Amino acid sequence: MDFKKPIEEIIRKRYSCRTYINEKLDENSIGKINDFLQLTEKGPFNNRVKFILVDTGKTEEKLKIGTYGMISGARYFIVGIMNKKSINFTDFGYLMEKIILKATELDYGTVWLGSAFNTKTFSNLVDLEDNDIIPAISPIGKIARNKRNVDKIISWWIKARKRKKWVDLFFIDQFTKPLTVEKSAPFALPLEMLRLAPSARNDQPWRVVKINDLLHFYLKTQSKYSLEIYKSMRFIDIGIAMSHFELTAKEKQLDGKWVVKNPQIVPQPKNYKYIATWITK
């Protein structure tokens, strides 16, 4: 995915938009969206995702997509599809976030919808093959200038603009030693861009441990009693975070790649799951 604007600018601009102008997009705009949805890239774990633009022809309220009034004026949706047999939620999050950021660059509003949508409605709107599932969707459309009160309330309730501090997310050598901005060089900006990533319910379940030049990515998992859908959302979250990190690192000429190389840090908090390591080339 190519971006024309600096990735930092795009990441800082993105937010969960829940109020849209209910307007038909012209052919040119639809063509451009369809172009960037043709993503041929694979995720860090080698899986692809299919993205389809759906024009529901109606607003979300009439469509009854089950967003419980949280979204208003949305008519177009990006639907992400993966096959159950090769499902990898981390790759899904990683690839769909690139789509979301591209849409942001082009001034469209978006919001990840992972649970609050009616899967049946969307399954009927796209051609699903056997075993295809839709882990998440996002409206895409022109942003309404005046936010509705419900939009403001949701943002306030989930503290949408708030992010955990560096000390809570990033570590050096051990999970007990916080990584300072100074010691994070040359990864300060990629880590900061990771910190601004969206996550389901703004949980920010990502943790990174820097050991020399390697950055090890972990997921703070949920209790075994939580619903399956919330567990998969967390894997989407870490994929999104990896996407932010990698896009920023590459733009800063810190080219690298993802490998699975668990450093077996001891002690490791019980609910932290090792995901992948970023190696600079």
Q: What is the dihedral of CA 79, 85, 89, 91, to 10 degrees?
A: -90
Q: What is the dihedral of CA 224, 225, 228, 234, to 10 degrees?
A: -60
Give yes or no for residue 201 binding ligand FMN (CB under 6 A): yes
Give yes or no for residue 202 binding ligand FMN (CB under 6 A): yes
Q: What's the min distance (Å) between Cβ of 57 and ligand FMN?
A: 22
- The CA–CA distances, whole Å, from 226 to 7, 113, 205, 221, 222 equal 34, 18, 14, 10, 7
Site string for ligand FMN, 225-264 (x = CB under 6 A): --------x--xx--x------------------------
Tell me which stretch binds ligand FMN (CB under 6 A): 26-34, 109-117, 139-147, 167-175.
109-117
CA dist., res. 193 & res. 95, Å (int): 16
125: tokens are 């709107």
Query: Measured in Å, how far apart are the chain's first and last C-alpha atoms?
Result: 20
Concatenated DSSP letters of 176-245: TSBPPTGGGTT-HHHHHHHHT---GGG---EEEEEETTEEEEEEEPPPTTS-HHHHHHHHHHHHHHHHHH
Q: Which is nearer to ligand FMN, 90 or 210 (CB)?
A: 90
261: tokens are 């190389």
Tell me which stretch binds ligand FMN (CB under 6 A): 57-65, 118-126, 195-203, 267-275.
195-203
CA dist., res. 149 & res. 72, Å (int): 11
Among 11, 37, 78, 136, binds ligand FMN (CB under 6 A): 136
Give yes or no for residue 138 binding ligand FMN (CB under 6 A): no
CB atoms within 10 A of CB 205: 23
Among 21, 30, 133, 160, binds ligand FMN (CB under 6 A): 160
Give yes or no for residue 139 binding ligand FMN (CB under 6 A): no
- In this structure, are strands 206-211 and 170-172 parallel, antiparallel, or unpaired? parallel
Determine the size of the site formed for ligand FMN (CB under 6 A).
Answer: 22
User: Looking up tokens 């050598």, which residue turns up?
Assistant: 173
Q: What's the min distance (Å) between Cβ of 46 and ligand FMN?
A: 21
Q: Which is nearer to ligand FMN, 113 or 140 (CB)?
A: 113
Q: Which is nearer to ligand FMN, 229 or 259 (CB)?
A: 229
Largest CA distance in the chain: 56
Q: Which is nearer to ligand FMN, 117 or 170 (CB)?
A: 117
Residues numbered 51 to 90 that lie near ligand FMN (CB under 6 A) are 70
Residues numbered 10 to 49 that lie near ligand FMN (CB under 6 A) are 15-16
Q: What's the min distance (Å) between Cβ of 116 and ligand FMN?
A: 3
Using CB under 6 A as the criterion, which residues of the chain lie in contact with ligand FMN when the complex forms?
A: 15-16, 70, 111-116, 136, 154, 158, 160, 198-202, 233, 236-237, 240
